[in-house]
Amino acid sequence: MPTPQEPLPSDPPAALITGANLKHPLDALFVNAPLRDYAERPRVNDFTLPVLGMGYLATYAASQGFNVGVLDAEAHGLGINHTIDIVNQAAPRWSATTASRPASWRRSRPCSAGTCSSPTGRAPSR
């Protein structure tokens, strides 16, 4: 059962997308992808940091007349498929996402156990 911070998959995109006028076609949707798939393993805390660069880009695009929105899937604790569904329902002309998620989480998971390797073949120092 989702906690109050985790929206249900049936929640409309308007409840999760900020900054856009969803009465008009969406030009761009900036997506802060989840660090991991919260549908598989729910969040246990609410510690998130804003993605300032994405916010700056969205603000600039809006100032140039584009209808833009931001979906912070990490802050909402969304699963990957739920995030994809929201983007598809919103149907923006363009979508942009953070490039380092969730793949970086999958790569870094072995590092926390000390079993990852670097290009040199040695585990990174801590």
Query: Which of the four pLDDT bands, split at 50, 70 and 90, describes residue 11?
Result: low
Coil, helix or strand for 94? strand
Give me Rg for the CA atoms of the chain. Answer: 17
46-85 burial: b if 16+ Cβ within 10 Å, else e: eeeeebeebbebbeebbeeeebbbbbbbbbbbbbbebbee
Check residue 118 and give its pLDDT: 41
Report pTM.
Answer: 0.69
Q: At CA 71, angle to CA 58 and CA 41, rounded to 5?
A: 145
Neighbours of 104 (CB within 10 A): 12
Q: Which residues, other chains included, contact 25 with Cβ-Cβ below 8 Å and sequence gap of 6+?
A: 67, 91, 93
pLDDT tens-digit map of 54-84: 999 999 999 999 999 999 998 888 888 899 9
Check residue 113 and give its pLDDT: 46
**Is residue 108 scored above 70 in pLDDT?**
no
CB distance 88 to 29 below 8 Å: no
